[in-house]
Amino acid sequence: MPDDSAVILAAGSVADAALSGLLQPQKTLPAKLFYDQEGCRLFGRITELPEYYLTRTEHALLADVAPRVAAMVRGPAVLVEYGASDETKAEFLLGTSVFTAYVPIDVAVPQLEQMRARLRQLRPDLLVSLVPADFMDVVALPTEVPSLPRFGFFPGSTIGNLDPPEARHFLQRARGALGDQSWFLVGVDLRKDPAILLPAYDDAQGVTAAFNRNLLVRLNRETGADFDLSGFAHRAEWNDELSRIEMHLVSLRDQVVRVAGHAIRFARGETIHTENSYKYAPERFAALAEQAGWHSAELWTDVAQLFSLHLLEPRRGP
Ligand code: AVI
């Protein structure tokens, strides 16, 4: 999803999405609002931060695992990537040449088209079938996709941004769309020491803080809200019970903000909860996948046990 795709939402739907969260007792803003153009640029910088181990660790794992995956799949097969705004991660798998078709699913249409143009140059033999949709909504693949075994791919631990019931629902839908002859490779950030997790979401250069506060910049610009940025600070918290990093924007004083005709009151210290990033022990994720009709056939982690890749297969039997 997010890599560098600007997710376009109509102004009215931005205001509606923001208001429905800001009127709750625990104020929230939906994480999908992060990814305007500036949010995508900041997320790109996050992936290169020394503290943000996820992207580089997953890349190293993918380089290692791709030939093993190719040996298992043998091919020909169709690579279906959920939330694919560029082909950087898919390239590890496409480079093995067992895939004869690639189906990237993403809401960012211009990015999908640019990707298809690049791949046409690099891999003229590869069939690229774009699916311009929210990966949460996909129940079936386009009919032009050849009826070959399907290899689903959901990298980046984006699954961690879904609450477990949503993640289960997503995995169930993917199970239906990919069919009985399939695999699903999912990148999942591991539960670990908060001393490693917290700096990844509150880095020394303040890039994650800027990413979080950009939500307010966006609301001011797109909905005419009047958030005073100096009145809100970024905070990352580890919620051990729920095994997730939470991002919040903390109000630094009592204040009233106008959003789409509503006066929203903030007490000093009150927060807007902006994102969850769930971290899974391998067995917890495997259990979630089982409930969604998958079986975790292989698990790969790096030596430092920072990140995991689960290779799922359809669960057979009851
Ligand atoms: C996109 N997603 C996997 C990121 C994460 O790590 O949860 C989003 C992010 N939020 C703050 N930093 C990165």
User: What confidence tens digit (pLDDT) does each residue in 15-41 have?
Assistant: 999 999 999 999 999 998 999 999 999
List all residues whose CB is within 6 A of at least one atom of ligand 1. Answer: 2, 46, 54, 156-158, 160-161, 201, 208, 275, 277
Confirm if 251 and 268 have CB atoms less than 8 A apart. Answer: yes
Going by the DSSP 8-state scheme, the letter that residue 96 receives in this structure is T
Tell me the one-letter amino acid at 226: D
* pLDDT less than 50: residues of the chain: 1-8
Q: How far is CA 206 from CA 5, 161, 202, 246, 248, in A?
A: 22, 21, 7, 16, 14
Q: What is the biggest distance separating any 2 CA atoms in the chain, rounded to whole angstroms?
A: 61
d(CA 217, CA 38): 10
What digits encode the pLDDT tens for the residues 129-160? 999 999 999 888 999 999 999 999 999 999 99
**DSSP helix/strand/coil, 119:** helix
**Bridge-based pairing state of the strands 294-301 and 244-251:** unpaired
Nearest atom (ligand 1) to Cα of 43: 13
Residue nearest to atom 11 of ligand 1 (CA): 201
Nearest atom (ligand 1) to Cα of 157: 3
Task: Quote the ligand 1 centre to 28 CA distance (angstroms).
Answer: 16
Task: Quote the ligand 1 centre to 277 CA distance (angstroms).
Answer: 7
Nearest atom (ligand 1) to Cα of 200: 12
Going by the DSSP 8-state scheme, the letter that residue 159 receives in this structure is G
pLDDT at 191: 98
Angle at 55 between CA 50 and CA 60, to 5 degrees: 105
Percentage of the chain modeled with pLDDT above 90 = 88
Bridge partners of 265? 256
Q: How far is CA 235 from CA 153, 213, 238, in A?
A: 31, 10, 10
pLDDT at 10: 54
**Run of H or E including 27:** strand 27-28
Residue nearest to atom 3 of ligand 1 (CA): 158
pLDDT at 12: 62
Task: Quote the ligand 1 centre to 141 CA distance (angstroms).
Answer: 27
